[in-house]
Amino acid sequence: MRRFYYLSSCDTCQKIMKALNLPSDVEMIDIKQTNIDATTLDWVKEKVGSYEGLFSKRAMKFRSMGLHEMSLTEADYRKYMLEEYTFLKRPFVIYDDHVWIGNAKKEVEAAQAFFAQLN
């Protein structure tokens, strides 16, 4: 599996996409148009260890839905991400057995180093 999940209206996602210089065989998926499917979400969760690690608590709906006042379970995180693209951390890259989640400097630098060695 070789995919880049991003939000086309997100400047940070666009900047990271350019910085990574992804190979042409990476499928580009705008999560607003095509949300992640359950099989892929479950696979990524196994790689990172939790659904919470994939969940964006910065999403505006997190507060507006009152989720910040609840004790969410792993099942809750999974359910919300499958229902609403805005709850996915972004961008994230899947390349074979490697996964990088979010826009933290450490994650982006690790992905950049990986893709640089491919070129």
- pTM score > 0.85 for this model? yes
Q: What is the pLDDT of residue 86?
A: 94
Would you give per-residue pLDDT tens digits along the chain (119 residues)?
Answer: 999 999 999 999 999 999 999 999 999 999 999 999 999 999 999 999 999 999 999 999 999 999 999 999 999 999 999 999 999 999 999 999 999 999 999 999 999 999 999 86
CATH code at 65?
Answer: 3.40.30.10
Number of domains in the chain: 1
Q: What is the DSSP string of 59-109?
A: SHHHHHTTGGGS---HHHHHHHHHH-GGGB-S-EEEETTEEEESS-HHHHH
3-state secondary structure of 49: coil
Q: What is the pLDDT of residue 111?
A: 96
Q: What is the pLDDT of residue 56?
A: 94
Q: Which domain holds residue 15?
A: 2-118
